[in-house]
Every structure is written in structure tokens, then in C-alpha cells.
Amino acid sequence: MKTTPPPASPPPATFQGTCTLVGAGPGDPELLTLKALKAIQAATVLLVDDLVSDAIVAHASPTARIVYVGKRGGCKSTPQAFIEKLMLMAVNEGENVVRLKGGDPFIFGRGGEEVEHLRAAGVPVTVVNGITAGLAGLTSLGAPLTHREHAHGVVFVTGHAKPGDAGTDWPALAAAAQQAKLTLVIYMGVSGVADIQAGLLRGLRADTPVAIIQNA
């Protein structure tokens, strides 16, 4: 009896290009790392977040293709799935792709999701850190995030929960911050500010110092 061999598995995808996630920091080009600057200058395609300043994009090669893929809360944004598709297409075409993100890719920048998607497709990814706004904003005020007398640690937390997610337990976090002397850095807290305030007041004193920073 003649048997038909099973069809061969398709060869794994091969990509000729490269992909780097670069943290652009809070906007001042002088706060870029040298590694970030070199990656931006070497890119043939830049996918640029809405919060990245023009002064940083200006360091790109004149021949680079620049695609703005803005994502800002409360505004019309480029879908994440579409951004990831653009990254894969450009790498597959042999481009040197830089995904340029405000702040740091791995601090509320959805860099983790993009790395997972790219690696699942067989694309190696390099990540270059940037200074996150939660650090730069406080530094601009001369206020340290940690201090031997006042703050033994720092917590970065989002104030904007994913749809369907219960979000942060603000009273519990406030109690922990009070007990352990922690600085709380809350990103994207405008839309939920009333709930955040009410929750924090259940665990922190009403005279706890607070800074509210916009456009860091």
C-alpha cells in the first residue's frame, strides 16, 4: 500500500531587517542616551509616538521614512495591532526599524506587548532605555524620588486601568506607601483623579505633599 508523506512544514520566516525599541525620554534631546541617538541616526524607518518631540525626530537621517503612530489618552489613536503590523512589514522588507517611544519603552509604553509580538514572529528585538517622565518631571522640580530621611522607595503605577480591569487598589497602595515610606508616581491619572484622591486619602494623611505635573 502506497502512503503519501505528510506535507513538509513551511520554513521558518526569515527577516532581513532589524527592529529596535528606543526610549526617547521626556523630550529634551540632550537627555537621550548615546545608544538611543545612534539607533535613531541609523534607522531607515522610524515609527514615532505622539509624545516624541520634534527636536528628537530631527536627529533621524534625511533619507529615513518617518511614520507617526500617535497614541494619546482621550484622542483618536493608531491601533496597537496596526503598529505591530507595520513593524513586521518593514522588517520583512529589510528595513532598519526604530520604534521611537516617549519616556521608556518598558514603563507604560506597551513595549512589552510589542516585544512579545515581534519575538513570536521570529524577529529579534533590541530595547534601548529612555528616561521616564515620572523621574524627569520630579527632577525638574528638584524633588528626589527617594531620600534616606523621607522616602525609602518608589512605586510607578498607572492611573488609567485597562478596560474591564478593576485597576489599582488605591487604599491598599496608600497604606503601604505610608508604612514603608514610599513615593508614589502615578501616570495617566487625570481621568480618574477623583477616585485616586479618595482612595489615597483612606491610607495617607491629607497633608501629604503632592506634585501634579503636566507636559513633563
Identify the active-site residue in 71, 87, 101, 104. Answer: 71
Residue 87 among the catalytic residues: no
Identify the active-site residue in 35, 38, 188, 195. Answer: 188
- The CA angle 93-95-99, to the nearest 5 degrees, is 120
Residue 2 among the catalytic residues: no
Q: Which cell numbers hold the place of 178?
A: 505610608
CA-to-CA distance for 26 and 19, rounded, in angstroms? 22
29-56 b/e with 16+ CB inside 10 Å = b? beebeeebeebbeebbbbbbbebbeeeb
Residue 188 among the catalytic residues: yes
Identify the active-site residue in 49, 87, 101, 104. Answer: 49
CA-CA-CA-CA torsion sign (105, 108, 110, 115): positive
Q: Name the CA radius of gyration of the chain, rounded.
A: 21
Q: How many residues does the chain have?
A: 216
Active-site annotation, residues: 49, 71, 188
